[in-house]
């Protein structure tokens, strides 16, 4: 048995004698006990009956009983893990002084073995354990003991680490209550817990117990520390050239010895402490709000004024005494669009922009593939008339789902969405008047030669599963098209919009994310800003122009362009033969071209209640108005990297149609994994470009050739198959194209008397970019 194994009874007994011995002696005894104890071969099982409700008054006693039974037998061969877990068990068991010593022993070990170790959440338990020890041993009220412990720990931290810890302390206790309830539910019905399960449950309970204890006082302590570190101007007014007032908040580190560069977020939504986070990193943090928001009495008109308004904010910043004249912008979603709107106006002080999941008006919002979304009506109404939106239940998902179905079943014109909802939305109607990427949209962000004037470093972060991915790719590709030498870096991984805004999780909608891809996106952004504005090294993850994670390979790769993500392509043709309701993707071009018939009734609304499954992994989702094509098994592992393209040969009886394409990996085990999400969608009349509508010719054979805006980055194992679902767009939550060739928003179910009929010819194909 290993001499490095641990057992909790001797260590626990020694540590509980803290009141009779000095702290230094206790630390030595703790380390001695850890080093000398033998290994226990078998992990005991602990009887445990979870309360029905995590907040039950009996829960503390139940958990204390479990901790007291676990403490004498707890063991772990890893010294750091042993001390961390031991301290948690001791805290739940009520041995607060012993827990305090265990936490100190852990800190001492880590200082010796890993002095550069970054700050971790364990510091919260250091503060909590010391406070509980003072409360029990010195009879100091907990509120006072926690404040003493807090000040002692936080005062020693730099601004960056203090910001991280104080934000952790501000987490709502309800988050941990929900986690504890889930743990109780998962354990219900089990006969007992093994040691790892018991330790995990101890930690889950401890998090809840600690946060509910210090939660009521942590906020005031955090604010006190913030006031000590930062100078805050909470209500700054900035006047634009046309006389509009914009509101902003400015936060500066008090310890700055000279003017600093500024990080600016300009957004329609409320910021999540980003100005202070920027200040904690040694910048001036500024958050400005678009006109009409944040108490501004002007009307909200999304997108239209943001470029010139952002320019006004940047110019104002550059004139301030605390500014060194350099401004960088950042943001996600709408806040990822505004840096581009500003860059269109080329403000001299703007030196860099970094965006994640950026919106591109007219590209990915309020329409995708030139197809308008009901969500755009909902979102815009929440800003232009929030009272009416709230009064009509706009924020209730069930209400909104019912509205989608109501519109769909009624078959009304898309322009009548507001009338059906009972609230007019002039902004949405204005958008519907511009279904092409015309001058209306082109004025909002850089267009063509505007990109040639943008010569500042740019970082764009997006994901294979992000709805905003087409917008991010639009900015990246257009910038490099019109400015081939642009300093523009792209990072793309297995993320959706939520992961890009709040950070990746190990599992995304049922899909296990590679460990290499679970990165701190915000931290990466600050590292990049430090490189651009402070001369720090380039983050290794951003060593190429295109940096992408190969999902399934747990590996980041770097390329000079999107095209260089691959080494070639596999061409799959649409086989017209069908079996079991499915067609085949074949590598062989057909000697004789045949066709597949597809009929879609736009008048059929029996599918009003259908919604696609959100999971990224599972069975093949039901295909409404679509056809399934499956390729042969791969003979070796193959990386699908890059943007797929398609050449569709078809005849249809309409002048237009909306198409949807989804690609899956069908594993040898039978699971279906989406290669991207949501589906790639396009209006056929805009397949050549989104600016000019080119109607199809009803009854004539013709081709559609396009490259998707949905890059792929995945390793498919040997035995896996590529699966494609090719469908016609017809859903309750978006505009329906009936194919008359007229303004689609004017069409209605009255135009659905004749079903859509398509012939898909067998020389149609898709090209999948690969790297062996």
Instruction: Give the tens place of pLDDT for each residue, 677-727.
Output: 999 999 999 999 999 999 999 999 999 999 999 999 999 999 999 999 999
Query: What does the pLDDT look like over 657-681, one tens digit per residue?
Result: 999 999 999 999 999 999 999 999 9
Q: Answer for the pair 737, 747: CB distance below 8 angstroms, yes or no.
A: yes
DSSP H/E element including 442: helix 439-442
Nearest in space to 299 (alpha carbons), one of 390, 423, 386, 421: 386
Contact in structure between 126 and 150 (CB atoms under 8 Å)? no
DSSP annotation of 258 reads: S
Beta strand residue intervals within 552-610, DSSP E: 555-559, 568-579, 582-586, 595-600
Residue 272 pLDDT: 59
pLDDT tens sequence across 90-112: 999 999 999 999 999 999 999 99
- Is the predicted pLDDT of residue 27 greater than 50, yes or no? no
- State pLDDT tens for residues 346-363: 999 999 999 999 999 999
d(CA 149, CA 128) in angstroms, rounded, equals 8
72, 37 Cβ separation under 8 angstroms: no
CA 683 vs. chain centroid, Å, equals: 27
Stretch among 61-75, 229-243, 261-275 having the lowest mean pLDDT:
261-275
When pLDDT is cut at 50, 70 and 90, the band that residue 36 belongs to is very low
Q: How confident is the model at residue 42 (pLDDT cuts 50, 70, 90)?
A: low
Collapse the DSSP code of 381 into the 3-class scheme (helix H, G, I; strand E, B; otherwise coil) and give the result.
helix
CA distances from 748 to 525, 602, 694, 736 (A): 46, 10, 21, 8
Q: Return the pLDDT at 3.
A: 31
CA-nearest of 363, 283, 291, 366 to 324 is: 283
**365 vs 332, 359, 372, CA distance in Å?**
14, 7, 8
pLDDT of 390 reads 80
- DSSP letters along 631-663, please? PPPPSS-EEEEEEEEEEEEEEESSS--EEEEEE
The rounded distance, in Å, linking the Cα atoms of 362 and 365 is: 6
Place 611 in a pLDDT band, splitting at 50, 70 and 90: confident
Q: Is the pLDDT of residue 8 over 90?
A: no
The Cα 85–Cα 202 span in angstroms is 9
**Has residue 183 got a pLDDT over 80?**
yes
Lowest mean pLDDT segment, chosen from 17-26, 51-60, 621-630, 684-693: 17-26
- Residue 146 pairs in a beta bridge with none
Q: Are strands 323-333 and 765-771 parallel, antiparallel or unpaired?
A: unpaired
Assign 139 to helix, strand or coil.
coil
For the chain, the average pLDDT equals: 91
What string of DSSP letters covers 389-406? HHHTTTT-HHHHHHHHHH
pLDDT higher than threshold 60 for residue 7:
no
CB 94 within 8 A of CB 64: yes
pTM equals 0.89
Annotate 680-716 with b (16+ C-beta within 10 A) or e (fewer): bbbbbbbbeebbebeebeeeeeeebebebbbbbbbbb
772 or 309: whose pLDDT is higher?
309
* E strand map for 335-438: 350-358, 367-368, 371-372
The average pLDDT across 386-412 equals 86
Write out pLDDT tens, residues 728-746.
Answer: 999 999 999 999 999 999 9
Mean pLDDT of 254-265: 96
d(CA 487, CA 458): 6
CA distances to 38, 49, 50, 182, 183 from 186, in Å: 33, 12, 10, 6, 5
Identify any residues that bridge with 335 across adjacent strands, giving them in sequence order. none
Q: State yes or no: pLDDT of 392 exceeds 90.
A: no
Pairing of strands 323-333, 260-267: parallel
């Amino acid at each position: 048995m290993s001499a490095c194994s641990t057992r909790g009874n001797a260590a626990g007994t020694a540590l509980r004698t803290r009141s009779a011995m000095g702290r230094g002696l206790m630390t030595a005894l703790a380390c001695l006990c850890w080093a000398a104890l033998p290994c226990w071969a078998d992990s005991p099982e602990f009887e445990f009956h979870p309360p029905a409700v995590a907040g039950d008054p009996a829960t503390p006693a139940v958990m204390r009983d479990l901790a007291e039974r676990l403490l004498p037998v707890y063991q772990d061969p890893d010294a750091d893990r042993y001390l961390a877990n031991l301290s948690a068990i001791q805290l739940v068991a009520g041995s607060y002084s012993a827990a305090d010593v265990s936490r100190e022993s852990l800190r001492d070990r880590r200082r010796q073995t890993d002095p550069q170790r970054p700050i971790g959440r364990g510091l919260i338990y250091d503060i909590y354990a010391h406070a509980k020890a003072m409360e029990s041993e010195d009879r100091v009220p907990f509120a006072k003991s926690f404040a003493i412990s807090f000040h002692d720990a936080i005062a020693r931290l730099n601004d960056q680490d203090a910001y991280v810890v104080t934000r952790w302390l501000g987490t709502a206790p309800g988050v941990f209550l929900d986690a504890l309830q889930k743990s109780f539910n998962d354990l219900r019905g089990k006969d007992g817990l093994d040691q790892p399960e018991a330790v995990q449950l101890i930690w889950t309970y401890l998090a809840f117990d600690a946060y509910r204890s210090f939660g009521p006082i942590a906020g005031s302590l955090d604010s006190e520390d913030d006031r000590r570190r930062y100078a805050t101007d909470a209500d700054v007014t900035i006047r634009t050239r046309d006389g509009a007032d914009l509101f902003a908040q400015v936060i500066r580190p008090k310890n700055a010895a000279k003017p600093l560069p500024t990080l600016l977020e300009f957004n329609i939504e409320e910021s999540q402490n980003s100005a202070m986070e920027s200040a904690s990193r040694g910048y001036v943090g500024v958050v400005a709000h678009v006109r009409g928001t944040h108490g501004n009495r002007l009307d909200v008109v999304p997108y239209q004024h943001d470029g010139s308004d952002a320019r006004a904010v940047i110019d104002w910043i550059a004139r301030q005494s605390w500014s060194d004249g350099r401004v960088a912008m950042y943001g996600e979603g709408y806040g990822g669009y505004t840096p581009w709107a500003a860059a269109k106006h080329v403000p001299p002080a703007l030196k860099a922009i970094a965006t994640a999941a950026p919106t591109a008006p007219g590209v990915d919002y309020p329409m995708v593939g030139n197809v308008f979304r009901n969500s755009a009506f909902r979102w815009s109404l929440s800003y232009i008339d929030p009272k009416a939106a709230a009064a009509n239940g706009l924020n209730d998902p069930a209400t909104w789902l019912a509205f989608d179905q109501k519109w769909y079943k009624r078959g009304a014109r898309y322009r009548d969405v507001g009338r059906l909802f009972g609230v007019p939305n002039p902004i949405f109607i204005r958008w519907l008047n511009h279904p092409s990427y015309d001058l209306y949209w082109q004025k909002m962000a850089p267009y063509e030669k505007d990109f040639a004037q943008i010569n500042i470093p740019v970082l764009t972060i997006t994901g294979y599963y992000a709805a905003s991915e087409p917008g991010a790719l639009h900015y990246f590709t257009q910038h490099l098209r019109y400015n081939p030498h642009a300093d523009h870096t792209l990072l793309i991984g297995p993320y959706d919009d939520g992961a890009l805004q709040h950070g990746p999780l190990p599992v995304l909608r049922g899909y296990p994310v590679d460990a290499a891809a679970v990165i701190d996106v915000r931290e990466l952004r600050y590292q990049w800003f430090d490189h651009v504005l402070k001369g720090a090294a380039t983050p290794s993850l951003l060593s190429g122009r295109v940096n992408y994670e190969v999902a399934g390979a747990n590996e980041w790769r770097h390329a000079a362009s999107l095209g260089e993500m691959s080494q070639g392509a596999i061409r799959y043709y649409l086989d017209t033969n069908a079996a079991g309701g499915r067609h085949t993707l074949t590598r062989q071009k057909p000697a004789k071209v045949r066709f597949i018939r597809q009929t879609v009734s736009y008048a059929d609304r029996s599918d009003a209640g259908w919604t696609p499954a959100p999971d990224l992994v599972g069975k093949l989702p039901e295909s409404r108005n679509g056809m399934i094509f499956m390729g042969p098994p791969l003979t070796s592992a193959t990386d699908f990297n890059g943007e797929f393209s398609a050449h569709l040969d078809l005849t249809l009886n309409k002048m237009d149609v909306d198409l949807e394409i989804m690609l899956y990996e069908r594993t040898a085990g039978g699971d279906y994994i989406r290669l991207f999400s949501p589906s790639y969608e396009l209006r056929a009349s805009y397949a050549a470009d989104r600016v000019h509508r080119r109607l199809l010719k009803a009854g004539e054979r013709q081709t559609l050739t396009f490259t998707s805006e949905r890059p792929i980055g995945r390793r498919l194992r040997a035995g896996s198959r590529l699966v494609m679902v090719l469908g016609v767009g017809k859903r309750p939550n978006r505009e329906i194209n009936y194919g008359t060739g007229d303004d689609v928003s004017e069409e209605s179910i009255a135009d659905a008397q004749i079903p859509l009929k398509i012939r898909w010819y067998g020389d149609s194909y898709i090209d999948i970019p690969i790297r062996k």
